[in-house]
Amino acid sequence: MFHRVPKSVMLASFLGLIPILVGLASTFKIGLSESLKEELIRIAIIYSGFILSFMSGCVFYISSLDRERVFLLWFSIVPVLLALLSVVVPFMQSFVIALGFLIVLEIERKLYKFKTLPEWWLNLRFPMTTIVVFLLIFMGFRI
**pTM of the predicted structure, to 2 decimals:** 0.93
For the chain, give the percent of residues with pLDDT over 70.
99
* Domain residue extents for the chain: 7-140
Residue partners of 135: CB distance under 8 A and separation at least 6: 17, 20, 21, 24
Q: How far apart are CA 82 and CA 101, in angstroms?
A: 10
Q: How far apart are CA 143 and CA 139, in angstroms?
A: 9
Q: Show the DSSP H helices in the chain as ranges.
A: 7-15, 18-25, 34-64, 70-75, 78-88, 93-113, 121-140
Q: Tens digit of pLDDT for each residue in 82-101?
A: 999 998 887 899 999 999 99
Residues in the chain: 143
